[in-house]
Structure 1
Amino acid sequence: MSNQRLQFEPLPNWVAEQVVSWRRHLHQHPELSFQEHNTAAFVEQTLREWEGLEITRPTATSVVAILKGALPGPTLALRADMDALPIQEENDFGFASEVPDVMHACGHDGHTAMLLAVARLLSERREELRGEIRFIFQHAEELPPGGAIELVNAGVVDGVDWVFGVHLASLLPVGQIGIREGEMMASPDNFTIVIKGFGGHAAYPHRSIDVIAIGAQLVGHLQTIVSRLTDPLERLVVSVTQFTAGSSHNVIPDSATLKGTVRSFKSSVRKEAPEQIKKMAEGVAAIYGASVEVDFVYGYEPVINDEWVTGMVREAAIEIVGAEAVIATPPAMGGEDFSAYQQHVPGAFVNIGAGNVESGIVYPHHHPKFTLDEDGLLNGIRLFLRVADKLLNQKQE
């Protein structure tokens, strides 16, 4: 059943300047996961400038604002993450990070600024609003176990009908919106392998159990988990990202440590991966008389977009940028703890284009020169507003 739609176009004059100002302030003052005390205080203080919002602090570094419309209707949660990364920024902007070795290199400053603007715009229209909106300003997306699961456990999505979130994407041109039903982002799991051998003089390797040689072979063997032990139609990544051993050019060390990540979508593939890694490590080590210890840590669940909700988001995106600018996003092997909400509530997570080759905005997320085309912030705001309007005014049959 459809009802009278709210109209937000054109956006009020204050929006463009204000959202950029908020984003740049947050960019200058980044905080790491679970340490977002000043960021959360800034968000809370800003939200308290507007009427009609019930503000709570579910955790020490998160903020939730609830807006109840004057008309009955469903409940929608909108989410923005707020944490930064342990990266030294290499940009020379006037608003570059003022915190050594900490940087907003993933666009969370933009996400927070966009949702602040959406909260203000919707609070000003609460007399026309149906249902309830929960604005979730989440901490610690970047560091497992993540902030989302803490907020879920705190009851933030209890009674919510749908949840929606966006991610500004520097590799997607500004003006485009990337959407995918179903498998959107993978589960990011981690492993650590410690190889224990017998050290000695590098001139006499036959008198040692060389953990570096064993580790080098194991790196190659681990790739066969993807190429030879997994159905080629399944999506799986096994990457060794750290190899640590030794302290001298003429000493074979006693131990070596390999660390890496496993990315997958299907639960059966995810369950088999640690068993295969352990078996592979033990087998290679045994050939040379070494031993291994394998530790596997499961990260976030995969982001699986609800088909109906994503269909509504697609309709909203087409209304904003046109069908030709709504891109079918391929599955990404990166992880996102937005999935914690989707374990309890049907939801969708999409990408907002914020790249611009002509302006040199081409660096990927988590790069020290990462930045955004700030025009993308306006499309993000428009999409939040249009999705909220569509979902609150049309209950799923």
Structure 2
Amino acid sequence: MTTLQQQLADLLKHYEEETIQLRRHFHENPELSFEEVETPKTIAAFHRALGHEVREGVGGNGVVAKLVGGKPGKTVALRADFDALAITEETGLPFQSKIKGRMHACGHDGHTASLLILAKAFNQMKDDLEGTIVFIHQHAEELAPGGAISMIRDGCLEGVDVIFGTHLWAPSDLGKVQTAKGPLMAAADGIYITIKGKGGHGSNPSDTKDSIVLAAQFITNLQQLVARRINPLRPAVVSIGHIEALNPFNVIADQVYMKGTVRTFHEEERSLLEHEIEELLKATCYLTKADYEYEYVRGYPPVVNHDAETEHIMASAEKIADVETVEIVDPNMGGEDFAYFLEEIPGAFFFTGAKNPDWEEVYPHHHPKFDIDERSLRIAANVLGQATLDYFAKNN
């Protein structure tokens, strides 16, 4: 273990309680995507107290801080997101969200706390650092168009050579670091559909164009697109998550509104599904000469890791005492706008296991009872920090 590696590990251990308290502060005070006000203020004040160069309002509500090391070298960017979700928390934790209908149900509070304490540790090591570190605190990851793309357009990556980021991952055991070369997370698109039939009395269906029956046929047949139109070796998901036809019990709906998501990893399948969903919708409505509206909204592109940087992250993670397993995993169908950073510069994204081994039940991300093992905060910071040190050493 090098002197800098040991110093970093010792500092992060020393500041572990402060990391946890920061996470709990953000957890108690969640702010929704594009509505973040106090969170970025807290982040900016933390960095200013360390003497870092700070820019607020980057691409909207983002914050970018810069730490210049004592020796010249490359520039590494580290990213953490800080927005919450429109969910009412049901964990019963003593630091549960103070605001009904808002909750950190995805770990972004932990991402932010980890990066802030890593910045504090690096600040104490700055005279020995052989390069510059850019801390990208991103707003609005949860809601497209997301904060990453606007922060990039506002210059957050200027002069940056490489970028690393992590997601605290509740389904994976504490002590695991997981990643993949190439695609790691899927493109996340949205579909918005209205079937326009002809309403009427429930006792006389022959006088109507029953939009509910058409919607049911469409949803059932929709899954055949994945089963019969997509190569089984190329993952894809089409899910309808919302259907609405508000009527009394004895009224056949005039129209039905639906929305859902499409997840793919390759442009070929993405474009195919965009086209074929409408073709299926058109054919379904033709049965009764009903009409429709269809909108396919392209969301985040897939998160595609760069091979060399992925190997770099894995090698750095192997050096961390608290990391028990470093492994390549199958791509995940979730979406992440870290994808935009990887389209611009080399980098890698990875999952930091956050599942407490003593918990009988682990709730998934975006669940009202979602929680993480707070020991994962230090592991996440340590892997990001070690990857930074190793990158400086390798490239200087």
Taking structure 2 as the reference length, the TM-score comes to 0.96
Is 1:145 the counterpart of 2:145? The answer is: yes
Q: AA paired with 2:95?
A: F
CA distance in 1, matches of 2:322, 2:314: 10
Question: What is the CA distance between 1:315 and its match in structure 2?
Answer: 0.3
**2:117 corresponds to which residue?**
117
Correspondence for 1:16 = 16
Question: Aligned residue pairs: how many?
Answer: 393
Distance 2:230 2:329 in 1: 24
2:300 aligns to what SS in structure 1? Answer: coil
Distance 1:288 1:87, change over 3 A: same
Deviation at 1:59, TM superposition (A): 3.9
Alignment of 1:336-347 (within 5 A): 336-347=336-347
Against the structure 1 CA distance between its residues 272 and 78, is the aligned structure 2 distance closer, same or farther, given a 3 Å change threshold? same
Deviations 1:266-285 (A, max 9, x none): 01111111111111100111
Counterpart contact for 1:175–1:321, Cα < 8 Å = no
Contact 1:181 / 1:305 at 8 angstroms: preserved in 2? yes
Aligned position for 1:56: 55
Range moving further from structure 2, 356-365 or 267-276: 356-365
| 1:27/1:103 contact within 8 Å kept | yes
Q: Could you tell me whether the CA contact under 8 Å between 2:59 and 2:152 is conserved in 1?
A: no
Alignment of 1:80-159 (within 5 A): 80-159=80-159
SS of the equivalent of 1:47 reads helix
Runs of 4+ in 1 over 3 A off after TM superposition: 3-7, 11-14, 321-324
Post-superposition Cα deviations, 1:171-192, rounded to whole Å, max 9, x if no partner, equal 1111111121111000000001
State the distance in 1 between where 2:146 and 2:337 align.
6
Q: Distance in 2 between matches of 1:13 and 1:300?
A: 35
1:315 corresponds in structure 2 to: 315
Aligned equivalent of 1:373: 373
What is the CA distance between 1:100 and its match in structure 2?
A: 1.1
Aligned residue in 2 for 1:177? 177
The answer to whether the Cα contact below 8 Å between 1:67 and 1:123 also exists between their aligned partners in 2 is yes
**Cα offset for 1:6?**
4.7
Tell me the secondary structure at the aligned position of residue 394 of structure 1.
helix
Deviation for aligned residue 1:308: 0.2
Secondary structure at the residue paired with 1:316?
A: helix
More displaced, 30-39 or 62-71? Answer: 62-71
Offset at 1:321?
Answer: 4.5
- Measure, in 2, the Cα distance between the counterparts of 1:356 and 1:325: 15
What letter matches 2:296 in structure 1?
F
TM-score, scaled relative to structure 1: 0.96
Q: CA offsets, 1:236-256, max 9 Å, x none? A: 101111111131110001111
Summarize the Cα distance change of 1:226–1:182 in structure 2 as closer, same or farther, 3 Å threshold.
same
Secondary structure at the residue paired with 2:353?
strand
* 3-state SS in 2 of match to 1:105: coil
Q: Tell me what 1:272 maps to.
A: 272
Output one character per residue of 1:83-128: Cα deviation in whole Å (capped at 9) or x when no partner. Answer: 0000000011111000110000000000000000111111111111
Q: Which residue of 2 aligns with 1:385?
A: 385
Q: What are the ranges of 5 or more consecutive residues in structure 1 without an aligned counterpart?
A: none
C-alpha contact (below 8 Å) 1:73/1:393 kept by paired residues: no
- Give yes or no for contact 2:12–2:118 (8 Å, CA) kept in 1: no
Q: Distance in 2 between matches of 1:13 and 1:235?
A: 40
Aligned residues of 1:79 and 1:136 also touching (Cα < 8 A): yes
Question: What is the percentage of aligned positions where both structures have the same residue?
Answer: 39
Q: In structure 2, the residue corresponding to 1:217 is in which secondary structure?
A: helix
Per the TM alignment, residue 323 of structure 1 is displaced from its structure 2 partner at its CA by 8.0
Deviations 1:15-44 (A, max 9, x none): 111000100000000000011110001111
Sort the Cα spacing of 1:374 and 1:37 in 2 relative to 1 into closer, same or farther, 3 A.
Answer: same
Q: CA RMSD in A?
A: 1.6
Name the SS for the 1:9 alignment partner: helix
* Separation in structure 2 between the aligned mates of residue 233 and residue 348 of structure 1, nearest angstrom: 24
Alpha carbons 2:174, 2:357 under 8 Å: kept? no
Q: 2:30, 2:103 within 8 Å by CA — same for their partners in 1? A: yes
